[in-house]
Amino acid sequence: MGRIRVLQNLGWLAGGRLAGDAASFIFFILLSRQFGPKGVGVYAFAMAIASVGRTIAELGVEDYGVRELATHDSESKVNVVGRILGAQCWLAAIYAGGCAIFLAGVGVSLQKGAVVALLAAYHLSAGIVRSLFLPSFAERRMAAPALLEAGSRVLAIAIGIVVMLGGGDTLISALAGFPICGGLLVASGGWLNLRHLKRIRLRLDIDSVVSTARQAWPYAAGTVVSRLHERADVLMLSLIAGSTATGIYAAGLKFVEVSMIVVPLFAFALYPRLTRLVQEDAEGFEVAVSTIIKGGLVVCVLLGWAVFVVVPDLIPLFFGSRFEDTEFVVKLFALWIPFNGVKILGDRLMLAAGRQVQRLRFQIIATGLNVAFNGVLIPVLAVEGAITASVVSAGINALLVVRYLQRYTSEQLMMRLIAQTSPLLGVGILAAGVVAYLGTGELWAAIAFIVSFGGATVVSGFSAMVWENISQLAERSSLNGLEH
């Protein structure tokens, strides 16, 4: 039953996210065709700033809040949600002030600032509402939050599409519906919270805010630093290379993010179960660590291959001829996908184990390296420099996480990961190299890689090992009463 619940939650989360991302993708296409790389660059810059604000306002509730509610009764849950909600309101206000100072300091135009304000209003609302969804998350009932969040996002985008099709010729007019839908999302989140807890007790007093911040800061800081890591390239590209280069980069990044959507959703759906394994079945958590890291790497290699082969030909078709330079950008991004996938999965395992402070240290290191590499490479290589910085910093972050997770396994996880996956990659690369040498073209080389790589995972017994571990985890959960 527990495995079915995980799959159901994953289905709702993925379905809601896919609906929102599909609408967002269509919206991005229309923006690209109407405003070109420069307009998309402005939009991407504003989204980067707004998404950081959302992460700040979320206060790490998906990690900290779920753990808190799991150990409290109904009356205490009201206080927990109220304290988190109050702290979020304070953080949103601080972010708004800091954002205004930053935009004024870097000399952003009023029009660009207005675009930031519209998107930030929506994303702050989407961040704050997460605390109102906490009772649903803690009970592993993801359907209503997923539907409400996806609905607000789709509605905001639908308003923007109608405006553009109706003759709206500015980004500001196309984004005017976002703040309205953000307000509706918060209202619907309050309604859902009342269904679970019967009342909302907002705590805005300083003592409560400080106390909550002290407990949540490792979770919140980790997600904020992670978001900065993800968006540093867009912000620095916009400020150093301009909006047109940022638009080219953002178009490629959009495809890559959509291709990876299932990875963080899968990790989040597993989080409550992983937390229980840590508390009640250490041997089961060891199996989970090994399986998720090894299996996740292989799956993300396959995702990277799919992006490398399929996406480049779709760029001009969707975005128009002005985005032809994005084709090469996407191929470079394919190298980033395996590293980022392992980092996402490893981060969730560390959070389940209560190692949020160590996770934060790794993220700070990776973010610092990302910013430093971007600062050096963007002035020289522009878009290619930003991608190189992202690949290297994500790889270092993944390396640090996997190395740390070795303490939860009886094997040398890093060495075993390299020993078991390197031959698979070697076979695929060798096959692709031979086919490319014969002059049959890039497509056939890519096909040779995926056939050889996939075949090697089966012949070597790697896929059987992963499936056996998954079955073992299901059996251990049933025997130890971990499924509810």
**For 363-394, how does the pLDDT look when each residue is reduced to its tens digit (9 = 90+)?**
899 999 999 999 999 999 999 999 999 999 99
Residue 21 within a domain? yes
Residue 263 lies in a domain: no
Calpha distance 12→16 (Å, rounded): 6
The helix (H) or strand (E) run that includes residue 406 is: none
Is residue 380 within 8 A of residue 243, CB to CB? The reply is no
List alpha helices for 59-142, DSSP H: 64-69, 74-105, 110-132, 134-138
Rounded to an integer, the average pLDDT of 302-306 is 90
**Which pLDDT does position 479 carry in this prediction?**
52
Return the closest-CA partner of residue 191 out of 142, 128, 148, 140.
148
Top-confidence residue, 419 or 178: 178
**Does residue 87 form part of some domain?**
yes
Q: What share of the chain is helix, strand, coil (3-state, %, to 5)?
A: 85, 0, 15
pTM: 0.79
Q: 90 lies in which domain range?
A: 1-204
Report the distance separating Cα 388 and Cα 336, nearest Å. 9
Query: What are the tens digits of pLDDT across the range 33-57?
Result: 899 999 999 999 999 999 999 988 8
Asked whether the predicted pLDDT for residue 298 surpasses 60, the reply is yes
Q: Which token pair is 56?
A: 């700040």
Residues 6+ apart with CB under 8 A from 462: 294, 298, 420, 421, 424, 456
| CB-based contact 351:359 (threshold 8 Å) | yes
Q: Write down the H helix ranges in 406-484.
A: 413-437, 442-459, 462-479
Whether pLDDT at 482 is above 50: no
Q: Is residue 136 part of a domain?
A: yes
Higher pLDDT, 226 or 178: 178
* Per-residue model confidence (pLDDT) at position 105: 93
CA distance 302 to 263: 12
Worst-scoring range by mean pLDDT, 5-19, 75-89, 301-315? 5-19
Comparing 5-9, 15-19, 216-220, 272-276, which segment has the lowest mean pLDDT?
5-9
- Whole-angstrom distance, CA of residue 326 vs CA of residue 41: 13
Q: Name the pLDDT band for 269 (thresholds 50, 70, 90).
A: confident
More confident residue, 371 or 273: 371
Quick check: is 360 in a domain? no
314 in a domain, yes or no? no
Mean pLDDT is highest, among 6-10, 29-33, 165-169, 268-272, for 29-33
Check whether 398 has a pLDDT greater than 90. Answer: yes
Position 16 scores a pLDDT of: 80
String of DSSP letters for 304-327: HHHHHHHGGGHHHHHH-GGGTTHH
Q: Determine the pLDDT at residue 225.
A: 85
Cβ(46)–Cβ(123) below 8 Å: no
CA distance 26 to 304: 22
Long-range contact set of residues 218-221: C-beta below 8 Å, sequence gap at least 24: 218/60, 218/356, 218/357, 218/359, 218/360, 219/59, 219/60, 219/63, 219/64, 219/351, 219/356, 220/56, 220/58, 220/59, 220/60, 220/64, 221/60, 221/360
pLDDT at 71 over 90: no
Q: Is residue 195 part of a domain?
A: yes
For residue 57, give both structure tokens.
């306002």
Residues of the chain above pLDDT 90, percent:
38
H/E segment holding residue 155: helix 143-165
- The answer, yes or no, to whether residue 74 has pLDDT greater than 90, is no
Number of domains in the chain: 1
pLDDT for 484 equals 46
Domain contains 320: no
Checking 199-204 for CB contacts under 8 A at 24+ apart, the result is 199/78, 200/78, 200/81, 200/82, 200/85, 200/132, 201/78, 201/79, 201/81, 201/82, 202/82, 202/85, 202/86, 202/89, 203/79, 203/82, 203/83, 203/85, 203/86, 204/86, 204/89, 204/90
Q: What is d(CA 234, CA 219) in angstroms, rounded to the nearest whole number? A: 24
Tell me how far the alpha carbon of residue 148 is from its chain's centroid.
19
CA nearest to 35, candidates 191, 142, 168: 168
Give the mean pLDDT of the chain. Answer: 86
Phi, psi of 6 (to 5 degrees): -60, -45
